[in-house]
Amino acid sequence: MHPILVDIGPFTVYTYGFFVAAAFLVGMAVSMREAKRLGLPHKIVPDLGFYLILSAVVGARLLYVLLAPKYFLAHPLEIVQFWKGGLVFLGGALAAAGTTIWFLRRREQPIWSWADAIAPGLTLGQAVGRLGCLAAGCCFGKECTLPWAITFTDPKSLAPLHQALHPTQIYHVLAGVAVYFLLLGTKRWQPKPGMRFAIYIMGYAVLRFVIELFRGDFRGHLGPLSTTQWIAAALVILGIWLYRQRRNS
């Protein structure tokens, strides 16, 4: 059976920044709602959001650069050109996590309660941000013959042109939405602060590990797995440990 190809044409890098900005706005809106529901001072979310945006972009770009050090040593000016694509979510997440802990400690806030409040916004914001990846053509998939394959036709796209590819950007969107609804469905079942955040870590990491199998862009490899898959596997272990630790605290 021949695939039904969905052509991605002029919808490219010009809308990348829009979706990245929309992702942060959605994430902050959901986080404010969850913080208010948990009785936390939700008005500090915009301040936290400012630091998260800065640290997430820097961290996401830094990990991308570290995956291809030879190229960026030869083209150092491209290190800061993140608007051309090249943001690794896990790098941004790690940087944002450190920044969040620093910010909340300065404000003398309960870190685990805030982690539970922020988790739904993170995953839904991530889903929106992946539409930016689709727009730019980054994070593209391997070639395939599936009915839902997509092709990129605009010369400005970062993906290979006129090839039937796995729509991995859409896989990421669906994964983010799935984890978001998982968190909504379990919000009343987690009596200890931090347990909901642990579910977010595990859910995201498992789905990310699977989606990596269909990615066609350069990921960096350590043995049989991509660099991102090793990080995702470590996050699954961390999530399991954190869930048990918070449950027994």
105 appears as a binding residue in the annotation: no
Q: Rounded CA gap, 116 and 195, in Å?
A: 7
**Bridge partners of residue 161, in order along the sequence:** 152
- Beta strands (DSSP E) in the chain are 6-8, 150-152, 221-222, 225-226
Scan for tokens 């602060």, then name that residue: 193
In sequence order, what DSSP letters do the residues of 152-179 get, joined into one string?
Answer: E--TT-SSPBT--B--HHHHHHHHHHHH
Helix, strand and coil content of the chain, in percent to the nearest 5, comes to: 65, 5, 25
- Residue in 182, 168, 108 with CA at minimum distance from that of residue 136: 168
CB 82 within 8 A of CB 57: yes
Q: Rounded CA gap, 35 and 245, in Å?
A: 23
Pairing of strands 150-152, 6-8: parallel
Indicate left, alpha or beta for 25 from its phi (over 0: left) and psi (-120 to 50: alpha).
alpha
Q: Which residues are annotated as a binding site?
A: 130
